[in-house]
Amino acid sequence: MEFNILGQFDINLFEASDSSSDEENNDIGIIREKRYVRDAINPFTAYREHEFHIRYRFSKDCVMHGLLPLVIDGLTKPDMRGLPIEPVIQLLICLRFYATSSFQKVNGDLMELPQPTISRIVFRVTIILASYLNTHVKFVTNRAAIEENRRLFKELGYGFGAIGLPCIDGAIDCTHIKLSSNNFGRLGEMYRNRKGYFSLNVQAIVGPRMEFLDLVPEWPGSHHDSRIFQNSRIFMRYQQRELTGMIVGDSGYPSLTFLLTPFRNPQNEEEQRLKK
């Protein structure tokens, strides 16, 4: 892949006349630099696969053939006026922001762009990606796919020297997404988590291929993982046996017929293997 590195000047000539002496003022050439987006580097050639993954949290192949096709139509300007930033660069800017949460690092590491431009790109790409939420983040319903997921989870257990648990649909946990500012007024303290900063406590269930199956992103950071789960739609689906398998979680969750948690104090070898 090649990126154009453009830098040229727009030369505007105009006549400057003075009523006292036209001959003393010749045509003056004013050279004004026309600003273009400059690709400081081509990330696909500048970074080895490992370095690329550290910066963008995805492989080169995943970015080019998995993510880019999802956003390219929404990021392409039909008239190409104003030398727009290429969709792949916009996508990389957004992924870099996700990985670092820093506009400055995105700006310095990828290209010379002002922070407001980076901010608009991140917003634009995020809106497009979010539109695919219900298409890609969902529990499988096909019986063959369900059985395949359960088989893969069982093999994962064997691979780590643990008990291969049957009928596992997914693994659940929560993670805190830090909020850069708190503008919730009197409700602000609800967003302060146990570590002292403001956040959203986001619940996620993932499958054996590390794919997201379910997301609950709206709870304030002060709420406990177990409360979020017991108020979620996925909890009701398991409780009503719409979903018939089980999920695994850490000791922060209650042990239920459809939620397996590790022994806090394993007493024998079997319990120790189950804890793994």
Q: pLDDT of 223-258, one tens digit each?
A: 999 999 999 999 999 999 999 999 999 988 999 999
Place of tokens 């004013």: 30
pLDDT of residue 217: 94
Per-residue confidence at 274, pLDDT binned at 50, 70, 90?
low
Rounded distance, CA 166 to CA 10, Å?
69
Per-residue confidence at 108, pLDDT binned at 50, 70, 90?
low
Query: Is the predicted pLDDT of residue 5 greater than 50, yes or no?
Result: no
What's the mean pLDDT in 28-33? 52
Identity of the amino acid at 214: D
Query: Is the predicted pLDDT of residue 68 greater than 70, yes or no?
Result: yes
Mean pLDDT of the chain: 81
Per-residue confidence at 50, pLDDT binned at 50, 70, 90?
very high
| Beta pairing partners, 10 | 32
Element (H, E) at 193: none
Least confident range from 35-39, 121-125, 265-269, 271-275: namely 35-39
pLDDT of residue 275: 55
In our burial notation (b when 16+ CB lie closer than 10 A, e otherwise), range 194-204 reads eeeebbbbbbb
Query: Is the predicted pLDDT of residue 86 greater than 80, yes or no?
Result: yes
| Beta pairing partners, 192 | 198
Of the two residues 272 and 115, the one the predictor is more confident about is: 115
Measured distance between the N- and C-terminal CA atoms of the chain, rounded to whole angstroms: 44
8 Å CB contact between 214 and 238: no
57: left (phi over 0), alpha (psi -120 to 50) or beta: left
Identity of the amino acid at 123: F
pLDDT of residue 114: 82
What's the mean pLDDT in 123-129? 96
Which of the residue ranges 92-96, 132-136, 229-233 has the most confident prediction, judged by mean pLDDT?
229-233
In eight-state DSSP terms, residue 218 is E
Residue 179: other Cβ atoms inside 10 A: 18
pLDDT of residue 110: 62
Rounded distance, CA 26 to CA 216, Å?
70
pLDDT of residue 184: 76
The tally of CA atoms less than 13 A away on the side-chain side of residue 149 is 24
Residue 107 neighbours by CB under 8 Å, 6+ apart: 113, 114, 115, 118
Per-residue confidence at 6, pLDDT binned at 50, 70, 90?
very low
